[in-house]
DNA sequence: AATATGTTTGACATATTTGTCAACAAAAAT
DNA sequence: ATTTTTGTTGACAAATATGTCAAACATATT
């Protein structure tokens, strides 16, 4: 068999992504993943050498999937407001698909910071699309479309307001004393709520 | 010795809180905690029976510390805006002290949801102070001080904007391509930024 | 059919972590 | 003073997770 099969390898990666990022089994073992994929555990070692390398691959692929669309949106020449909305739609779609991805990455990054020997799983170069979007945010602030501040605040606000309610859902449901149905309803309203915050009426009215 | 010593027990709890919530060693073993506390590992079993029960105690104590002040603030009869600011000050203080607490709780809740046998570590009854604050948010919306919506949105916005930049700091620093000094600067500006979002000028102007 | 290459499997070794237990030390109570 | 209670320790056992290896298997090429 001259050509590499790639079937099983892909199956393992996809399954692992599902287990970690969709099901939220952050502590899943290699055996768990193998079971979920219906393959022998040692195949993980055969294809990825170690669990750590599988993680690296999985995170890399998740990263690719995550930025693929959004990068295109961010570097497009859409008007700022529409660009932001498209970015939000895309981002929230991905959040729905992999609600636990950010939690996983956070914990992973935290642990990496503590252990000196682990390999860095993220590209070191700053993502250009975000840099460009930050510039556009600055322009909008200059133009008075949105309140002036360090542009990173706008970006931080944007992602905070989208992500946090998703990753902290279990905790928030308890604190706010609401059930799944109600929380789903709230999540569905988020986009409009966030837009209302980021593009305040006063300033926004000028642009219309 | 009629009175329980309580010295070692307290030392272990405090150390564990520090390791988990301040240092962010989310995967710390009982040995790690014992080392950090400078005691024999089996003392953890002596005082808490199991690691799981230690976790329960630690989370419970963290919860108490976290709500102690903030509950008092939330049920006080301060004007809404001042109450919110005090709540923010208190909350951000605690975030600085235990930046990894929320991450830990999130992961813990996620895992608990998946494992049927684990004991529930959180009080089941909804926290009244938050319920009361939610009512006040509703009142403010009625009065037109803040934009109308489901009051939980205001609460979610508030905590999202405070917490997310802290717990996702490593990730955000990479994405936004800024260093520690710059990020510290951003964090220091957060309170004013958040207030500007939650209390938009137009509406706020009416109340002055 | 024989062989070579890539794939899959089960058995084993190793490391890590947690919990138990009996022995020991220290402090109070008798 | 000695007995009892409380606190502490090290050695051991059990469970779990990861990685390695040789052997078995399948498939395409010779």
User: Mean pLDDT of all residues in chain B?
Assistant: 90
Whether A34 and A114 have beta carbons less than 8 Å apart is answered as no
What is the DSSP annotation of chain A?
A: --S---HHHHHHHHHHHIIIIIS--TT--HHHHHHHHTS-THHHHHHHSSHHHHHHHHHHHHHHHHHHHHHHHHHS---HHHHHHHHHHHHHHHHHH-TTHHHHHHHHHHHHHH-TTSPP-S-SSPPHHHHHHHHHHHHHHHHTSS--S-HHHHHHHHHHHHHHHHHTHHHHHHHHT--HHHHHHHHHHHHHHHHHHHS-HHHHHHH-
pLDDT score at B162: 97
A200 and chain B in contact, CB less than 8 A: yes
Tokens 């926004």 -> residue: A204
Tokens for A182, please give them.
Answer: 């109600």
Give exposure, A166-181, as e/b (b: 16+ Cβ within 10 Å): bbbbbbbbbbbbbeee
pLDDT score at A118: 59
Tokens for B113, please give them.
Answer: 């949801």
B29 and chain A in contact, CB less than 8 A: no
User: Which structural domains are found in chain A, ordered by start?
Assistant: 7-207 (1.10.357.10)
Which residue in A27, A170, A186 is closest to B153 by CB distance? A186
Indicate the pLDDT class of residue A207, thresholds 50, 70 and 90: very low
Residue A3 has pLDDT above 70, yes or no: no
Cα A191 to Cα B1: distance, rounded to the nearest angstrom? 61
Q: What is the mean pLDDT of residues B198-206?
A: 69
Q: Per mean pLDDT, which range of A53-57, A119-123, A202-206 is the poorest?
A: A202-206
pLDDT digits 0-9 by tens, A111-140: 877 776 556 677 677 889 999 999 999 999
Could you give the count of Cα atoms lying within 13 Å of A46 in the half-sphere of its Cβ?
Answer: 12
DSSP H helix total and E strand total for chain B: 11, 0
A5 beta carbon to strand C: under 7 Å: yes
Q: What is the mean pLDDT of residues A142-161?
A: 97
- Minimum distance, in Å, between the CA of residue A48 and any CA atom of chain B: 23
A159 and chain B in contact, CB less than 8 A: yes
- Return the number of other C-beta atoms located less than 10 Å from residue A95's C-beta: 20
Indicate the pLDDT class of residue A42, thresholds 50, 70 and 90: very high
Residue B46 has pLDDT above 60, yes or no: yes
pLDDT score at A202: 60
pLDDT score at B97: 93
Give exposure, B62-90, as e/b (b: 16+ Cβ within 10 Å): bbeebbebbbebbeeeeebbebbbbbbeb
Residue A205 has pLDDT above 60, yes or no: no
Chain A residue numbers with beta carbons less than 8 Å from the beta carbon of B100 are 110
Q: Cβ A147–B107 below 8 Å, yes or no? A: no
Strand (E) or helix (H) holding B188: helix B180-198
Residue A195 has pLDDT above 90, yes or no: yes
Cα A200 to Cα B192: distance, rounded to the nearest angstrom? 16
Q: What is the mean pLDDT of residues B136-154?
A: 97
Rounded, the Å distance between the CA of A118 and C1' of C12 is 28
pLDDT digits 0-9 by tens, B176-188: 999 999 999 999 9
Site from B70, B102, B106, B186 to mutate, A interface, most A CB atoms within 10 angstroms: B106
Residue B80 has pLDDT above 80, yes or no: yes
Indicate the pLDDT class of residue B17, thresholds 50, 70 and 90: very high
Indicate the pLDDT class of residue A37, thresholds 50, 70 and 90: very high
Which residues fall within 8 angstroms of residue B186, CB to CB, at 6 or more apart? A150, A152, A153, A156, B165, B178
pLDDT score at B95: 93
Tokens for A110, please give them.
Answer: 């935290």
Residue B5 has pLDDT above 60, yes or no: no
Cα A126 to Cα A119: distance, rounded to the nearest angstrom? 18
pLDDT score at B102: 86
Cα A92 to Cα A159: distance, rounded to the nearest angstrom? 10
Cα A33 to Cα A28: distance, rounded to the nearest angstrom? 7
pLDDT score at B37: 97
B144 and chain A in contact, CB less than 8 A: no
Smallest CA–CA distance from B146 into chain A, residue = A197
Tell which strand C nucleotides have any atom below 7 Å from a protein Cβ: 5-11, 16-22, 27-29
Tokens for A166, please give them.
Answer: 């998703």
Indicate the pLDDT class of residue A95, thresholds 50, 70 and 90: very high
Indicate the pLDDT class of residue B126, thresholds 50, 70 and 90: confident
User: What are φ and ψ of residue B72, in 5° steps?
Assistant: -60, -40
Q: Per mean pLDDT, which range of A109-118, B44-53, B153-162, B171-180 is the poorest?
A: A109-118
Q: Cβ A106–B160 below 8 Å, yes or no? A: no
Residue A203 has pLDDT above 70, yes or no: no
pLDDT score at B24: 92
pLDDT score at A117: 59
pLDDT score at A4: 47
Q: What is the mean pLDDT of residues B87-116?
A: 87
Tokens 């660009």 -> residue: A83
Residue A10 has pLDDT above 70, yes or no: yes
Whether B62 and B98 have beta carbons less than 8 Å apart is answered as yes
Strand (E) or helix (H) holding B41: none
What sign for the dihedral angle of Cα B186, A155, A133, A143? Answer: negative
Whether B39 and B8 have beta carbons less than 8 Å apart is answered as yes
Residue from B151, B145, B148 nearest B199 by CA: B145
A175 and chain B in contact, CB less than 8 A: yes
């Amino acid at each position: 068999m001259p050509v590499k099969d790639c079937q099983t390898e892909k199956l393992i990666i996809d399954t692992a992504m599902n287990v970690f990022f969709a099901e939220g089994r952050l502590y899943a073992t290699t055996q768990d993943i193998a079971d979920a994929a219906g393959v022998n555990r040692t195949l993980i070692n055969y294809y990825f050498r170690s669990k750590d390398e599988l993680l690296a691959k999985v995170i890399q692929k998740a990263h690719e999937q995550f930025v693929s669309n959004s990068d295109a949106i961010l570097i497009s020449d859409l008007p700022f407001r529409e660009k932001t909305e498209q970015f939000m739609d895309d981002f929230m779609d991905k959040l729905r698909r992999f609600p636990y991805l950010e939690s996983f990455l956070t914990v992973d990054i935290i642990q990496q910071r503590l252990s000196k020997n682990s390999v860095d799983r993220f590209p070191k170069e700053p993502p250009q699309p975000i840099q460009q979007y930050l510039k556009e945010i600055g322009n909008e602030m200059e133009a008075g479309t949105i309140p002036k501040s360090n542009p990173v605040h706008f970006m931080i606000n944007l992602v905070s307001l989208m992500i946090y309610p998703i990753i902290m859902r279990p905790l928030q449901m308890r604190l706010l004393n609401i059930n799944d149905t109600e929380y789903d309803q709230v999540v569905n309203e988020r986009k409009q709520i966030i837009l209302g915050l980021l593009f305040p009426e006063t300033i926004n009215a000028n642009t219309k």
